[in-house]
Structures are given as structure tokens and as C-alpha cells.
Structure 1
Amino acid sequence: MDGLSSAASVIAVIQLTGGLVKLCGGYIQEVGNAREEILTLQRAITGLQDTLQDLQNNLQENKAKGLSTSSRLPSNITACLSDLQALEARLDPGKGKTLMRKMGLRALKWPLKHTEVEGLTQNLERYKSLFLLSLQVDQTSLMISLAQNTDRINQYIDLGKLEGAIDAGFESFSDRDEVECLPGTRTELLREITEWAFSPSSKSMFWLQGMAGTGKSTISRTVARSAKNRNHLGASFFFKRGEADRGNAKKFFPTLTRQLILWKPELRAGVQKALNDDPDITLKSLREQFEKLLLQPLLGLDQRDQLPQNTVIVIDALDECEHDQDVQNIIRLLSRLQEVKSLCLQVFLTSRPELPISLGFSEIGNHVYRDLALHEIPEEVTEHDIQLFLQHQFMKIQHDRKVPQDWPGDNIIQELVRVSVPLFISAATVCRYIENPKWEPRLRLAELLKNQAKYVSKMDKTYLPILTRLLDNQESDEREQQQLLQEFQDIIGVIILLAVPLSVNTLSPFLEIEVDQISNRLDFFRSVLNIPNNENQPVRILHLSFPEFLVQTTTKFRVDAPTKHKDVAKSCLRTMRRLLQRDICNLADPGARRAEINSLDIHQCLPSELQYSCQYWVHHLKNSHALSSDIEAVRLFLQKHFLHWMEAMSLLGLISEMMGMLDILRTMVSSGRLSI
């Protein structure tokens, strides 16, 4: 009898044992004086049933491998089936007994004597032992055969020697609560990434860059899930600052190699050779680890005239890897995976747009990678996705907390969308605050809308790591750290309080700080500021929660808003004193109408820093805690330059705005805040 026939016979016996277990159960309910004997027999039948199920699974899974021992069991299976059928005939009370029970007559009687139960139990145990032994023999044979077919057993890699970073891979236990993209969101972006991953003509790397809180890691997990579902996820590494080996590059390449071996077992021999040749390879430089553990084994794979298999490697949050040089080395080394021809290796990498990463990609050249900036996706697309996310989260809160379905209403959702765009982390922070099980969600939402400072305080997990990196350099002394903090206040502290964004080339004369010094300091804040490559374009804040956080935080990065407004007002007054003059545009006709003057001439004669100063010096003065010395500077400015200021405002077409500024000054004088 072949394996298939044996499996069919075993199934018949399994079905019969199931019926016998039910029959015994019926007797237990109806017959009280033989309960222990019935339970003993039922347990013996159940034990046989479990063994037969294991035997059937083994026959089914390995039907093509010729299980020698199990294939010689037909006679034993037939004998077992016959004995069980005889037992069924003894135990089945028949239709007559069923009719008696329906009429209320408890006539069911246990048909077996004590000695018969003992004999049957022993016989069933004998069959169980026989089948179990056969199962163990065949499984041992399969294991030996498998070991012999793995190139030689002494080539087997002990993956323990290839120690990876704990929980760095996709679906790790520590990230079990992290979410993926909600269906219906990021649709165009995910489609674009999928096309890149599976197109034979794609560049080998995809750099998804985005500022803090724009949802990069959520997208990474979604890309990893999609690749895994298609059986194309080769490896992944999710960096996380401050979490042991996930915060540095020490075990980066061993982790990727370990995962790729599990996905592509043919890599074992090449990696084993590397470990044999240099047992300390995992302690060597990143370049040596990459070349010997990853690149050379991959190059050694036999293509066998087959089309290369698409293999996606997901690297998330590279900016959270310590040591800038390691970050640049990782980018440079990963770009060399395009040398591998046996696999089509596609590296999907996410990070904030920080300087070391930008330098790393500029070094390898754009022929190797393509990039996409999340913060440059059209705002209406991001609004749509954040709205879907908020609607989904509030529906979940409604269900979990028994809140009315019309809560919170479309208007509130739209308001939350408005304050969140473009940060998904902002929307997620709002939802986490509201769904806290210790508090009533409707009250939490009302409290949040009334006092948004509560929400801003929750953003410290997003912003503090970025700010802390400014002082990360272990080699800097206390004096240098104080200088960095002062430059932070002088540059970032001003940018967050400006009435309108200014360019680096405008900030330089306005703050009296060199362009290179400003640019160098701004490079640390590309995750929270939109810094264009063109120094004539304005530097913009990504999200209003950043300046609000800096104004409210109690850390060393706190910006004292009134004091800083006073500093900016001083810069405005200094700029106007330096640049304002009579007939600033050198007009041939002092009585010329504004419409007759070339706007290019106006902007040339009134540079951007002067235009800003003329328009907003009162705004900053109003928001400052002006002292008597500051008020004296205002009085002297107005005495000497009032008409010059009026001329400049007229040229800018802002006379009506100037009247409003004078009203503010009058109010400040009447309230005692200003004495002119």
C-alpha cells in the first residue's frame, strides 16, 4: 500500500475514534455507576486519535518522500479499524434505546465489564505505541536525510555566531503596537514605491525623506508588509535612537545578513566561509563586514540563467543611527549592491533630510538612487490622508468608549486636520491624548480644543531628540556647548518668531551674522525647518507646533518669547537706522506717484531686511517686555527717521498698515507701556 492509501486508511480510523469519543460522552451523562471506567476508555481512545492525527499529517506532508516505516503499517491499521468497529457495535445503543430516552425512560446501560475495559484499554495503548514508534522512526529518518543534503553537516551556520540587533527587523516584538498605513491613505506614494520595487529598470535605491513626524516609519512598515506578502522581503532594519544595537551601526550588516540567509538559504556556504576565514569579522569595520558577510556571498550565488529575483531591503530612520560617518558609509556601501546580478536588490531607505545623509547620497550620485520628499507632497493630498486617519481613530474611540456616533462632528475633524497638516504624528498625538482610558474622551477633546498647550507639550518626543543632537558631539567642551546654545537662540529663536519667513541672505545682514554661519547652524534643523537650497528663498517652519514647543518647553532650548521679540525689534530699529534715508530711491521727481515708480527699483533700494524691519518692528515691540532703555531707542528713532520710515512705507504701498502701527504705538503710550 502506498503512502496515499495509508493516509486514507488512517483518516477512516480517525473518524471512527471521533465517533467513539462522542459515544463515551453520552454514556458519561446517562450512566453514573461506571463513570471511571468510561473515562478511562475515552482517554485511551483520545490518545490513539491524537497519535493517528500526527501520523496522518506526516504521511500527507511527506507523501513524495517515501516513508518506509509508515508505509508498512496497512495491516496494523486494518486490524485497529476492525477492533474499533467491534467496539462501536457494543457501545451504540441503537434506535430503540434512543426512542426510550425520548420517552423519558432512562434505560441506557454500560455494556462492558471491568475486565473488558482493561483489555480494550491495553489493546488501544498497544496500537498507539506501535503507530507512535513508526512516526518517530520516519521523522528521524527525514531529519538525517535533510542534514545529509545540506552540503555537509559541518557547513551548517550557527546563526548565534552571526549576532544581529535584537528587535531591529520588521514585525519585532518591541514594535508590535506600531501601525501601518490606513487603507485609502498614501495611495499614490505607495503605488510609486511598488512600481520602483518591481520594475527591472529601477534605480537600486529609493530614499524617502521627510521632516519629523511626517509618517516615514509608518510607510516603511507598509512597504515591508507589501514586500513580505509577495515573498520579496529579503531583510529590514528599523533604527531607533537610544535602544541598544538599534541606535548604531555595529550590528547593522550582521542583522541584514542573518535575515537574508533565512530568506535565501543558498547564502549559507558563502557566509560560513567568511566566518571560518575570520571569526571576528562582525567586530571589524563596516566596509569589511559588508564585503565579506554580504557582498561576496551574494556575488557567489549561481544565477543559473534565471531571471534575477526581486529582493526588497527596508532601512528605516537612518538618521537615528549614531555617528555621522557611519551613516554616510552605510549609504555608500549599500549602493554597491547593484553589483549583484543573481538578485535584483532594491533598497528602500527612509530618514529625515539631515546633512550627513544628504552628503552620503550626493557622494554616490543620482544615477544610483531616486528620492522623494514627503513634505513636498501637495498639501491637499496630505490633508485627505490625515482626515481619513482621524475619522478612523474617532470611530474606534466611539466603538471602544460607547461615545455617540455623531461625535465629534465634521467641523471638529476639519479643525484637527488644519492644526495637524502636514504632521501625521501631530494627528496621532491628538488621538492618543483623547483616547486615554483614564479620562472621558469628550471632555479630553473639549479640553484640548480650549487649551492647545496641552497638545504641544506632548510633542516633546518628536522635537527633543532633534534639539539634543545639536549638543551630541562628545568632543565639544562646556564653552562650545554654550556657544551652540547661544547661536540656537540667535538664529532659530528669531526664525520661529518672525512675522513672515526670511531667506538666509536676508537674515545675515538683519542679524549681523555671516551667511555661512547661519547655513551651518540651520543644517542641524532640516527635520523641522524647510530650508531651500537657494539662499534667496525663505526658510519656513514645517509646523506651528515647533515654535509653540520651544516657547513652552522647560528645557535648555526654551525660547523666551518676549525677550526674543525685543531682540528682533532692536534688529529692526538697527536696520532702519542704518539704511533709511531721505529720497531713498533717488527719484528725480520727489512728487512722483507710487504707481509711476518701477517696482524693481524699489526692491533694489529697499532690501528685504529693510522692508521687513519697516513693516514689523512695531509688531515685535508690542510682543516684548520693553524696558526704559528700549523705549528711549524708539523715541530717538522716531525723532530722526519718522519721515524716512513713512517714505519707505509709502514706496511699499503700506501707508494704511503704517497708520495701524501708529495706533498700536499710541495704545502702548496710553497704557503706560511706552513713553515717547
Structure 2
Amino acid sequence: MFPSYWCIRGPPSHPIQQLRLAAESDGASIPLCAVAARYDYREQRRPCLEGTRVGVLTQVREWMGDTPGGHEGVKSEPTIFWINGLAGTGKTTIAYTVAQECHGAGNLGASFFCSRDNAQCSDPMFVFNTIAYQLGIYHPPFRAAVSEALKVDPLVVYGSVSRQIEELIVEPMRMVDFPPCIVVVDALDECKDDQSTSLVLSSLSLHLETLSPLKFLITSRPEHNITTGFASDRLQPVTNQLRLHDVGLDVVETDIRRYFCQRLGEIRGSYDIENPWPSENDINALTQMSGGLFIFAATTVVFIEDKNYSDPVDQLHRLLHTARISGSSPHQHLDSLYLQVLDNAFPQISKELAGRLKAVLGSVVLLQDPLSPLDLKHLLGVPLHSVRATLKHLHSVAMVPDTDDRPIQIIHPTFAEFITDPSRCTNNTFTLAPQMQHTLLFRQCMLAMVQLRRDMCDIRDPRKNNVDISDLPERIQTRIPPYVQYACCHWASHLKRGSVSVAILDSLREFCTKRLLFWIEVCSVLGALSGAIRALHDARGFLEVRFHHFHSR
């Protein structure tokens, strides 16, 4: 069975193929699409609090023409507005606010919110495929042009990033009268791109004239490969740049103070706490501790409100009186807050619990795609109650669903960076060792794939294409559990980031001799053959480098 080369792929546990079947019911071909990259896919994303970020949003609106729904303003120069800032400065909230406003005004052409905890949303190969798909929804004649291009060459969706933008966006745009619109790309630095210049930016820079109906709002950290891209001769003249870390601290702190006043006021009402709470001094102290980082403010509010403790007064008291500030890092207060969250959740942690915490929380932090509590239980081989008990008091940093079939997700990437960096997470009880954790996840992926067998979806006819099997999503859902799908898609990612040992080599040998063909068949059913090719390439590279090192010791 071979995949439909233009099917939509989504998170393993998400019934994305139903969208593919619906979209292709009229005979149209559509590009690969990371559905989770839409600005409104994650429920926890929120717009800026009213009255905050006024200066930044005003600049963006002026760049767009400040004409909601009006196309004349959207055509104004320059073509790109780049917002960059350090981690936790509120870039995603600003991007979400702009995307939401544009959607309401009818001029949001596409959005791609990168996320390092989602394999597709962090893959440059999905950026222009997804934008092409959304632009096709925005303007149906463009969709028809893209569909024709895919009929000529279905494999273009697996081509280079530069080829994707040329054949799926630039050429189709030449064939239609495309209305002006906004494209929002958030957190470009979370795309896993090790090139000296961002692949997305270098590809975009080659076609700006043809793409003139589109205006791009891009946010990122000021990473080297991104700043290099924007400094190029092609992009620099057509880019407005706004550095959030250049915005006056007094302006930012005014916004953060407003946020604290409103959110803590809501908590006071919810818990019937008598006034004055919080005090003026409390608000001032929290605002100063934030250091201009909105993620500090957001995490602080969740920590104080945590219903597992149901004592906001005591939570605030603990935070203000036990915060440990040391060093000169710009994230010192945020690191102190994260340590306080962990210390509060595990005040007298045993050696056994510390080991379980690292296994469970470490997996949540380093998974390539989020898994539910139930699937994490199966993948790690630990009881479900242990997964929930371990994460019960970590709602300030992780979204743990009430049901067992919804994914667990880290709220902000700064926590993952903190807990894997021993210079920031100074309590060794909590510090994660990424290489060790990836090795554990690789071993568990190998164990999960032991259950692979021939024709797991009971299709019985290997000549059928995926698109010809109307109930394929249901077959996948009932016959290939999400944690097995995860193992099939990501074992190589964990392998190349892990350590080598005789046991690892033995498990690879057993997999290749007993289950390789079954794995390829499952990847085909999942529409993930291109990922399978990359996995084999990564595994070979791992063996060439690590095997030599292993035998030279």
C-alpha cells in the first residue's frame, strides 16, 4: 500500500485523515498540511489583555494599513514585519492577537505557529506546504491552481523547501488574481533548521516580488541563522524590524502590572479572599521580579491559582518569600520561579519518586509529539495512576488534561530549556539529562513496535492506495494505538540524540531483522513514508558516527 502523496498528515492521535478524505471528495489534490500549526489550534493560546502591548500592536496595525478587512492598506510596504525578542517576552501572544484580528477582518491568508514539541510544527518541510493549503482555503481559484500542480508532480510536497514555495505558492499565484492578505509565522526559531541561514527565509527571499499580494508577520528569537537571513540584501530592504527587548522596561512593566492586577483580582473573587489582596507591595514585587518577561507573569498566576493547593494567599506568600535569586542571567527570576514550582510540588522527594519524575516529566519534555496520559503509560510501561500522580502538582508548567485520551503538553519552551540545563536548574534532583532520556525513549519505542505485524489495518489488498480506503482513519484508530504510531514515527529521532551501547545495537539488529518490513507498511498506512526514509538515514548516520566512537574507546 502506498500513501496518497498529497494527504494531510496530523498528530498520530488526531483524525486528520478524515479532513483529507473530505477535501479530496471533489477530486482535488491538496498539499501536506500541519493542521496543528493553525494559530487557533491550541486552546490555551490567548490574545493580549486589553490595554496591553498597545505600542507594539499599533505599529503592526499601521504596517498592515490599520484597515480591518480593507485590502488597500495591506498592500503598503514593506512586505515583512519581523518581531524578535528573547524567550518569554510575549511574541506568540502578539502573533495570536494579530492573527485573530486578521481572521475577524477577513484578511488572514494563512498562519503557521511553529512549536518544538510537535514534529510537524517544527519541520521546515511543512511550512510552505501548510501555507499553500491555507491560502487555497482563503482563495479557491488558488487552490485549483495548486491542485493542478500536484497532479503534475505529486512528489513536490517532499521536495526541498525552496522548490515547495516555488511550485506550490509562487507559480500558482502567477496564474490567479490573488487578493492581498496577511500570513502570520510565529516562533520561526522553533523550526528545527541547522542551516547557517534559515531555509524558510532564504527560500522566501527569492520570490518576494511574485508574492507581493502577501504580507508576512514573522516572530522569532534573535537566533543567528534567522538574523543572518533578515540581514541579507534581499530581505533587509523590505523588512520592518521590532525588537521587543528594545521596548522600554517601564512600558513592559506597566503591561505586566496591569496583567497581575486583573488576573489576581479575578482569583481574589473566585476564592472570596478579603481585600486588600494582593497588596500594592505584592504587585510591585511581582512586577519587578518578572524582569519584563510575560511568561513569568503567566506562570506566576497559574502557580498562585493552582487548584491542587486551593490556597492563593499561601502560594503568593511562598513565592515572594522563598524565591532564590542568584547569578546574572536574564532569566534568573524565571528560573527561580520554576524551581519554586518543582520544590512546592515535591518538597521531600524520595529517590524512587525522583527517578519516576525524570522518566515521566522527561518524556513529556522531550517527546517529538505530545502523548496522552494513557499512551504515555503504554509507551513507558508505568501505571496510569503513576503518570497522573507524578504530574499532579505541575499545572503551572504543564497542561495535564482531565481525561486520559488528551495530550499532555509543556506550557512554554522556557521550562524545557530550564530543566535540561544544569546551570539553570541548580537542584540536581530535578535536572534532566537529555541524552539519557532520549535513550530511554528509544528503548521504549523499540518495545512498543514489538507488536507490529503484517497488514495491521486488515486491508488485505496491498494494491489499494490510502485514498481509496474510505474507513482508513477508523482502521488506524482501532488497530494502531497512538503510542505505537508515535514509536513508528519517532524512534530514530530519539536514537540519534541518545547514547550507544551493546543493548542499543542489539535492539536495532532485532528490529531490522524481524520488524522492518512491518514498520514500513505501517508508515505507508500513516502517510509517513518520507519520514521513514529520513529515519533510516538518521539511523545510518548514528551508526556510522557512534559505532566508530564505541569501538575506539
TM-score (norm 2): 0.53
- Alignment deviations for residues 503-526 of structure 1 (CA, whole Å, 9 cap, x no partner): xxxxxxxxxxxxxxxxxxxxxxxx
Residue 455 of structure 1 corresponds to which residue in structure 2?
337
Residue 268 of structure 1: CA displacement? 2.2
Residue 379 of structure 1 corresponds to which residue in structure 2?
249
Structure 1: distance between partners of 2:423 and 2:126:
38
> Do 1:456 and 1:549's aligned partners in 2 also have CA atoms closer than 8 Å?
no
The worse-fitting range, judged by mean Cα deviation, of 546-555 and 187-196 is 546-555
Cα pair distance change 1:164/1:157, threshold 3 Å = farther
Q: Which residue among 445, 455, 467 is the counterpart of 2:316?
A: 445
Q: Which residue among 160, 177, 196 is the counterpart of 2:44?
A: 177
1:460-471 map, 5 Å: none
Compare CA radii of gyration and give the structure with the larger one.
1
Cα pair distance change 1:154/1:207, threshold 3 Å = closer
Residue 164 of structure 1 corresponds to which residue in structure 2?
33
> Do 2:205 and 2:235's aligned partners in 1 also have CA atoms closer than 8 Å?
no
The alignment status of 1:245 with 2:120, answered yes or no, reads yes
1:496-515 map, 5 Å: none
Structure 1: distance between partners of 2:237 and 2:281:
47
Structure 2: distance between partners of 1:434 and 1:268:
48
3-state SS in 2 of match to 1:251: helix
Residue 190 of structure 1: CA displacement? 0.2
3-state SS in 2 of match to 1:324: coil
- Alignment deviations for residues 523-582 of structure 1 (CA, whole Å, 9 cap, x no partner): xxxx99xxxxxxxxxxxxxx9xx9983544653799xxxxxxxxxxxxxxxxxxxxxxxx
Structure 2: distance between partners of 1:555 and 1:356:
28
Output the amino acid matched with 1:325.
Q
> Do 1:209 and 1:352's aligned partners in 2 also have CA atoms closer than 8 Å?
yes
- Alignment deviations for residues 361-419 of structure 1 (CA, whole Å, 9 cap, x no partner): 12234102121110110111001000011111101211222222421111100110000
Structure 2: distance between partners of 1:155 and 1:277:
19
> Do 1:249 and 1:326's aligned partners in 2 also have CA atoms closer than 8 Å?
no
3-state SS in 2 of match to 1:353: coil
Cα pair distance change 1:547/1:251, threshold 3 Å = closer
Residue 490 of structure 1 corresponds to which residue in structure 2?
none
Structure 2: distance between partners of 1:557 and 1:375:
31
> Do 1:382 and 1:421's aligned partners in 2 also have CA atoms closer than 8 Å?
no
More helix by share: 1
Structure 2: distance between partners of 1:435 and 1:422:
21
1:194-273 map, 5 Å: 194-198=61-65, 199=73, 200-273=75-148
1:297-308 map, 5 Å: 297-302=172-177
Gaps of 5+ in 1: 1-152, 304-308, 461-467, 473-526, 529-542, 559-676
3-state SS in 1 of match to 2:112: strand
Q: Which residue among 167, 175, 179 is the counterpart of 1:292?
A: 167
Residue 555 of structure 1 corresponds to which residue in structure 2?
431
Greater relative contact order (Cα < 8 A, sep 6+): 2
Gaps of 5+ in 2: 1-22, 66-72, 325-335, 343-361, 367-412, 435-553
Residue 333 of structure 1 corresponds to which residue in structure 2?
203
Residue 489 of structure 1 corresponds to which residue in structure 2?
none
3-state SS in 2 of match to 1:162: coil
Cα pair distance change 1:356/1:302, threshold 3 Å = same
3-state SS in 1 of match to 2:124: coil
Structure 2: distance between partners of 1:302 and 1:436:
52
Residue 345 of structure 1 corresponds to which residue in structure 2?
214
Residue 189 of structure 1 corresponds to which residue in structure 2?
56
> Do 2:123 and 2:191's aligned partners in 1 also have CA atoms closer than 8 Å?
yes
Structure 2: distance between partners of 1:211 and 1:322:
18
The alignment status of 1:433 with 2:272, answered yes or no, reads no
1:567-586 map, 5 Å: none
Residue 433 of structure 1: CA displacement? 0.7
Structure 1: distance between partners of 2:150 and 2:198:
26
Residue 302 of structure 1: CA displacement? 3.1
Cα pair distance change 1:405/1:229, threshold 3 Å = farther
The worse-fitting range, judged by mean Cα deviation, of 188-197 and 318-327 is 318-327
Cα pair distance change 1:209/1:249, threshold 3 Å = same
Q: Which residue among 417, 423, 427 is the counterpart of 2:287?
A: 417
Structure 2: distance between partners of 1:326 and 1:314:
23
> Do 2:34 and 2:126's aligned partners in 1 also have CA atoms closer than 8 Å?
yes
Residue 225 of structure 2 corresponds to which residue in structure 1?
356
> Do 1:156 and 1:268's aligned partners in 2 also have CA atoms closer than 8 Å?
no
TM-score (norm 1): 0.44
Output the amino acid matched with 2:227.
S
Structure 2: distance between partners of 1:458 and 1:222:
30
Cα pair distance change 1:348/1:326, threshold 3 Å = farther
Residue 452 of structure 1: CA displacement? 1.1
Aligned residues: 318
3-state SS in 2 of match to 1:555: coil
CA RMSD of superposed structures (Å): 3.1
1:521-532 map, 5 Å: none
Output the amino acid matched with 2:38.
G
Structure 1: distance between partners of 2:58 and 2:225:
29
Cα pair distance change 1:233/1:337, threshold 3 Å = farther
Structure 2: distance between partners of 1:289 and 1:238:
18
> Do 2:422 and 2:431's aligned partners in 1 also have CA atoms closer than 8 Å?
no
